[in-house]
Amino acid sequence: MNGDDLDGLMLFDGVCNLCSGSVALAIRMDKKQALRFTPLQSPFGNMLAVRYGLSLENPDSFIFFDNGQALQGSDALIALARRLGRPWSFVTVCHVLPRRWRDAAYHLLARNRYRLMGKRDSCMTPTAEQRAQFLLDVPD
């Protein structure tokens, strides 16, 4: 499975309240149901994290697959916001800022996300309606 096959997939920390809340928001905003999601803690998410260099113990980012690229940090956030459309697409204006600045701000939030927003004891569970957008098991 390559980056093109994964287009529109968000790999996220499923025990992070901020991350899970972001996924819930993305699901609500994704009227076409074009986005897909996999928590880092799932077998498929775990495999992708290893493949793309995301720490399994302390992930400091999420990965968003956009047009064949596995993006992290502020680039991933901007690509995801672009896909969500208005009003979230306003985030894309941040792309004009130097990546170093954007990523510094992103990583400051990411490093403090558990302290600021809390952490769940277990991974978020998608509802029956959301289940079709979640990839949890490694495809054959």
Measured CA angle at 76 (ends 33, 40), to 5 deg: 75
- Print the domain residue range for 63: 9-119
Let me know if residue 78 belongs to a domain. Answer: yes
CA atoms of 133 and 63, how far apart (whole Å): 16
Let me know if residue 86 belongs to a domain. Answer: yes
**pLDDT of res. 91:** 61
Yes or no: say if 74 and 102 are a contact pair by the CB < 8 Å rule: yes
CA atoms of 122 and 49, how far apart (whole Å): 18
Tens of pLDDT along 89-123? 656 655 666 778 878 887 888 888 878 888 877 77
Let me know if residue 52 belongs to a domain. Answer: yes
Q: How many domains does the chain have?
A: 1
| pTM of the entire predicted model | 0.84
Let me know if residue 73 belongs to a domain. Answer: yes
Which residues, in sequence order, are CB contacts of 95 under 8 Å at separation 6+? 78, 102
Measured CA angle at 106 (ends 38, 4), to 5 deg: 40
Let me know if residue 135 belongs to a domain. Answer: no
CA atoms of 106 and 69, how far apart (whole Å): 19
**pLDDT of res. 97:** 66
Tens of pLDDT along 7-60? 999 999 888 888 888 898 899 888 888 899 999 989 999 999 999 988 877 777
Tens of pLDDT along 61-96? 889 999 989 999 889 988 998 888 776 665 665 566
Rg (CA), the chain: 14
**pLDDT of res. 59:** 77
**pLDDT of res. 92:** 61
CA atoms of 123 and 42, how far apart (whole Å): 9
Let me know if residue 1 belongs to a domain. Answer: no
Let me know if residue 139 belongs to a domain. Answer: no
Let me know if residue 131 belongs to a domain. Answer: no
